[in-house]
Amino acid sequence: MNIALIAHDKKKELMIQFCIAYKGVLQKHVLCGTGTTAKLVSEATGLEVRQFLSGAQGGDQQIGARIAHNEIDMMLFFRDPLTSMPQEPAVSSLLRLCDMHNIPIATNIATAEVLVLGLERGDMDWRDIVNPK
């Protein structure tokens, strides 16, 4: 599975801790992420994470394009609901693309845990039918 990782600044440490906790599951998949998030996760975990631009510089759009081309199977997007973001339209666009293309998305750690545990259990195997490799 191809998994996108995105985290707002105040949620980056949470993303790192999540990826450390679920490294055993995540290392079996192809990971990508926006700029700093990808770099920090890779450095902290040793996981290989393909790095796109930062979200503010277009990384959200790069991941959005991959979603539109059926190249992302799941997104973990730890959002900060308490901080106003100038790139909020890009965030809304990503969420809309996930809905349009039936991409499971977690916007908080609770949902991310459900998705990753389901991934480990095989609940995401239907994506292999939609996106054969």
Run means of pLDDT, 10 residues per run, the chain, 133 residues: 95 98 98 96 98 89 94 95 75 91 95 96 82 66
Q: Is 60 a catalytic residue?
A: yes
Residue listed under structure tokens 């959005």: 64
pLDDT given at position 84: 74
Instruction: Name 79's Cβ contacts closer than 8 Å, sequence gap at least 6.
Output: 8, 11, 91, 107, 108
Quick one: CATH architecture of 21-73+82-124? Answer: 3-Layer(aba) Sandwich (3.40)
Please give the pLDDT value at position 116.
Answer: 97
pLDDT of residue 132: 67
The alpha carbon torsion through 5, 128, 24, 81 (nearest 10 deg) reads 30
Set 60, 73, 123, 125: catalytic member:
60
Q: pTM for the full model?
A: 0.92
Domain ranges of the chain: 21-73+82-124
